[in-house]
Amino acid sequence: MACMSAAVYLLIMMSFIMLVPAYASMESCVQPGAASPGDIIIGAIFPIHQAVEKRSNYSPQIQPCVKLDGRGLANTLAMINAIETMNKSPILSDVGITLGYRIHDDCADVSTALRATAEFTRQDDCGGGTNYSSCYQPVMVVVGSSHSEMSIAIARQLTTRMIPQISYSSSAVILSDKARFPAFMRTVPNDIHQTGGMVRLLNDYGWNWVGITTIDGDYGRSALDNFVTQATEKGICVAFKEVVPGLLNIQDDWSAIRRTTRTILKNHKVKVIVAFLKPPHMLRLYKELRSELLRTGQPLESMRRIWVASDIWSASNYVHGDLTLEDIGHVVGFHFKHGSLSSFNQYLSRLGDTGHDNKGYNYFLEELKTQLNASGDAGEAELVSKAIEIIRKHTYTDTILSIEMAVSAIAQAVAVICRSRDCKAPGTVQPWEVLSTLWMRPFLHNGKKYTFDDKGDINLDYDLTLWRSEKGIIHNNDIVAMYHPHNNSLTYTDHSTTKQLLDLKKIVSKCSNSCVPGEIKKTAEGQHTCCYECINCTENYYSNDTDMDQCLSCDPKTEWSPEGSSKCITKTLQFFSWQDSFAVVLLTLAALGILLVLLVSALFLQQRNTPIVRAAGGPLCQVILFSLVGSFISAILFVGKPNIFQCKARQVLFGLSYTLCVSCILVKSLKILLAFQCNPGLQGHLHRLYQPYVIIGVCVALQVAICSCWLVLKSPFKNDIMLPTTLLEECHEGSYVAYGVMLGYIAVLAFVCFVCAFKGRKLPQKYNDARFITFSMLLYLIAWVVFIPVYVTTSGVYVPAIEMVVILISNYGILSCHFFPKCYVILFRKEQNTQSAFKENLHEYCRNSTESISVSDTSPNEQQYIDQPYIISSPPLSLPATESQMSGEALDHNPVLSDIRAESRKIVGYFKSSTTAKGHLLPA
């Protein structure tokens, strides 16, 4: 311990007793310092002690400094070495000048710093003579101080004389304000970049629930405000903010540390703490954390956190005390850019070798030897060696680089000024000239060019370190990443510790667990935005990332999503497809219908000269069959993915084809009406107006007009119906009025057919179509009457199938009623498809009518035909003998027989109009 005390004393002597006699008088005004003469004097203020001893008296005496700071002493020696190095460099030797220095200790106290600054700004009156040896040599530029609070106070005083000030570690944002601090400059980045780098680190690692603790004062408050502002912009929440006094020497100051300790332990979810504290504060905080855990019986692991250290303590070797990294957790430190220590290490080596450092610019060595001899506790070599070892332990490469850069900038600025004038005489160079040159010109250091920006800053990159423990020793100089302020980015080094930094991403520091995709955050009123609950996205909304604030909407036209979905699902496209089993059945029936129509058509063409075919209408049968083919094809168009052509063609094709079919049937029905429902006078005129093909053409033309207006004014179109999970493609009819008119027109024709055919139920049963027309039209009307409410109330993919079914029913009704009975006769009852069979049937009809009337003249002569199947027939015939051979007398005196004769003439007239064979006429 005696040796260590002597070493500390040696350090003090080395730094503060080395004074040139010319400056001895200043010791009564300021703390002891170090000085060396030169043509241009550089002032410097370093915190060589950590505090001043507080006394209760009110006299304006200088308070003694306490707690020697090895780092401040190392920084002092680094500046001395930098000045001596520049004095030997060609930069100054070429202009024949040297740099001197005066170094003072601010003892980390603003009042002490202001006393030192006042000494730098004082002016002596040389009496206007030419002898400058007795004049006080002014300070051209000041280097320092370390802490922002000191630099702010110093800058205000130096601004009055526009003496440039270059700080090597003061990073407070306020110092970039050139309106208030026009003479302040620094060789370190603005603190806003350090807080920006911290926020970038937290954001990249997903830590959004953090705490922050700072020291009171301009530096701490500025760092706190900047960090909170930047963190909030990135969605990072500050769980707590603790501010502790800058000096820990009274009871209230210690209570602030204890309060911070309890806050940290209470917020157990906060795993990351950002600390802008001085090393003594961190040391005390760690001790209090351990004491609190031991007092409450909690394990020491409870204090484990990720500590994001600011530059002020990130490289300190003693803040952890006797704690290990297992106790305190992980420390990620932000450092100013590291430099080389080769020059400074050489200087310390020369300083340790007292026999070789006697060139005249380290005058304190002789005084040092005297003090060492006065102690008498150890040999001189042993004490010097131990002192150098302590200095090396408190040497930080980032600070050394900043000090060397400041001295290099000053030396090169002075060299520029002194190339055009003699700078050896006092008063030749003014401080503001040095300030102007520093601001305007770049300077070189170790081969790199640097420039002060418009705010007086040099924004270098930050080095990030991760503390590691090896054999009980904590290493805090492993550079694992670099932060680049110009683009706000992090780059990682290939150091072996880098992987440990990346592994820290596994540590969760959040108030609430992350909301997974498919959920969004819901924050309660009054809570932090980082404290929330996760709720599912509603239907048709989704979230595809973690911790989203709101759900994204799916495209309602093509997409959907269930509740709590992380993506949208493409809506299933639905239509009445070809693969649908129901569609397959209907298509099979349609195809079968077309095949049957073609077969019937071929059969009728083959049997075109037979009585059955001629009685059925002859060529009109082929027209009806052709129209049925079109109707079956229109039914097929209701299947498949809709398109514009399909939507327009299917209804129009059905309307025209079925209108043609019903028109042909109408002609046959009108023929029945003309034969049975007209009086003899009117019947002749109607027979002349009865033009079958004209009637068919007019009926079809009207339907063509209806469909044309429909297509021109508001035609059917392809329509997409957005259902919750599907997209239904269908054909919209465009105008439902036009659609109804088209179907209604066909219904009117069918109803007319029905009425006319109903009147013709008196023809011979085997050749009468009236009953079949009646039944087919009745089937059509019933089918379409049922279709209307079903069509209106039904929605979905099977809407086209409804109309398709009705069309098939209508078509098969025509086939079944009009053609299948005739095909049966042609194929299986050939004996009935002859001229003789037709005559016999008509003869039997007349005989039965006579017998029926002779039995009872009150019985309706129509009753005998009600339940008989009718087939229309019109082969060439002769009047049956039973009627042609009747005497006129009998007919004249028997009214019943007269009615039979009239009825028979109607039948003959009907078949006469139906026949197409050689124009044979029946006799009257």
What is the arithmetic mean of pLDDT over 724-750? 89
C-beta of residue 615 within 8 angstroms of C-beta of residue 874: yes
**C-alpha angle 360/362/363, rounded to 5°?**
75
- Higher-confidence residue of 306 and 252: namely 306
Q: Check residue 312 and give its pLDDT.
A: 87
Q: Is the pLDDT of residue 27 over 50?
A: no
Q: Compute the distance between CA of residue 468 and CA of residue 480 in angstroms, rounded to an integer.
A: 11
What is the arithmetic mean of pLDDT over 790-796? 85
Q: Is the pLDDT of residue 379 over 50?
A: yes
C-beta of residue 448 within 8 angstroms of C-beta of residue 409: no
Q: Compute the distance between CA of residue 627 and CA of residue 639 in angstroms, rounded to an integer.
A: 20
Q: Check residue 884 and give its pLDDT.
A: 39
Q: Is the pLDDT of residue 906 over 90?
A: no
What is the arithmetic mean of pLDDT over 622-634? 92
Q: Say if strands 572-574 and 479-484 run parallel, antiparallel, or are unpaired.
A: unpaired
Q: Is the pLDDT of residue 347 over 50?
A: yes
The string of DSSP codes covering 319-370 is TTTT--HHHHEEEEEEEPPP---HHHHHHHHHHH-TTT--SSS-THHHHHHH
Q: Compute the distance between CA of residue 31 and CA of residue 113 in angstroms, rounded to an integer.
A: 9
Q: Check residue 204 and give its pLDDT.
A: 93
What is the arithmetic mean of pLDDT over 827-833? 79
**C-alpha angle 241/242/246, rounded to 5°?**
135
Q: Is the pLDDT of residue 883 over 80?
A: no
What is the arithmetic mean of pLDDT over 311-319? 86
355-364, 583-592, 622-631: the lowest-pLDDT one: 355-364
Q: Is the pLDDT of residue 828 over 90?
A: no
Q: Compute the distance between CA of residue 237 and CA of residue 229 in angstroms, rounded to an integer.
A: 10
Q: Compute the distance between CA of residue 81 and CA of residue 168 in angstroms, rounded to an integer.
A: 15
Q: Is the pLDDT of residue 856 over 70?
A: no
C-alpha distances out from residue 558 to 544, 573, 849, Å = 18, 9, 73
Q: Is the pLDDT of residue 11 over 60?
A: no
- Residue 10 — pLDDT band, cuts 50, 70, 90? very low
C-alpha distances out from residue 922 to 32, 372, 880, Å = 155, 163, 10
What is the arithmetic mean of pLDDT over 329-347? 90
> Phi and psi for 165 in degrees, rounded to 5?
-125, 130
Q: Is the pLDDT of residue 752 over 90?
A: no
Q: Is the pLDDT of residue 516 over 80?
A: yes
Q: Check residue 137 and give its pLDDT.
A: 81
Q: Compute the distance between CA of residue 769 and CA of residue 778 in angstroms, rounded to an integer.
A: 14
Q: Check residue 761 and give its pLDDT.
A: 58
Q: Is the pLDDT of residue 462 over 90?
A: yes
**HEC letters along 228-246:** HHHHHHCCCEEEEEEEECC
- Residue 887 — pLDDT band, cuts 50, 70, 90? very low
For residue 527, the tally of other CB atoms under 10 A from its CB is 13
- Residue 613 — pLDDT band, cuts 50, 70, 90? confident
- Residue 889 — pLDDT band, cuts 50, 70, 90? very low
- Residue 682 — pLDDT band, cuts 50, 70, 90? low
- Residue 63 — pLDDT band, cuts 50, 70, 90? confident
What is the arithmetic mean of pLDDT over 337-355? 81
- Residue 356 — pLDDT band, cuts 50, 70, 90? very low
- Higher-confidence residue of 535 and 837: namely 535
Q: Compute the distance between CA of residue 257 and CA of residue 268 in angstroms, rounded to an integer.
A: 18
Q: Compute the distance between CA of residue 793 and CA of residue 774 in angstroms, rounded to an integer.
A: 30
What is the arithmetic mean of pLDDT over 364-378? 46
Q: Check residue 310 and give its pLDDT.
A: 93
Q: Is the pLDDT of residue 768 over 90?
A: no
Q: Check residue 3 and give its pLDDT.
A: 39
Q: Is the pLDDT of residue 858 over 80?
A: no
Q: Check residue 194 and give its pLDDT.
A: 93
Q: Check residue 35 and give its pLDDT.
A: 84
Q: Is the pLDDT of residue 891 over 90?
A: no
C-beta of residue 54 within 8 angstroms of C-beta of residue 65: no
Q: Check residue 709 and give its pLDDT.
A: 93
**What is the widest separation between alpha-carbon atoms in the chain?**
183
Give the chain's mean pLDDT: 80
Q: Is the pLDDT of residue 155 over 70?
A: yes
Q: Is the pLDDT of residue 1 over 90?
A: no
Closest CA to 756 of 662, 842, 681, 688: 662
Q: Is the pLDDT of residue 813 over 70?
A: yes
What is the arithmetic mean of pLDDT over 148-175? 92
- Higher-confidence residue of 549 and 133: namely 549
CA neighbours closer than 13 Å in the CB half-sphere of residue 906: 22
C-beta of residue 259 within 8 angstroms of C-beta of residue 242: yes
For tokens 């994001």, the residue is 308
87-96, 590-599, 735-744, 853-862: the lowest-pLDDT one: 853-862
Q: Is the pLDDT of residue 163 over 80?
A: yes
Q: Compute the distance between CA of residue 801 and CA of residue 812 in angstroms, rounded to an integer.
A: 16
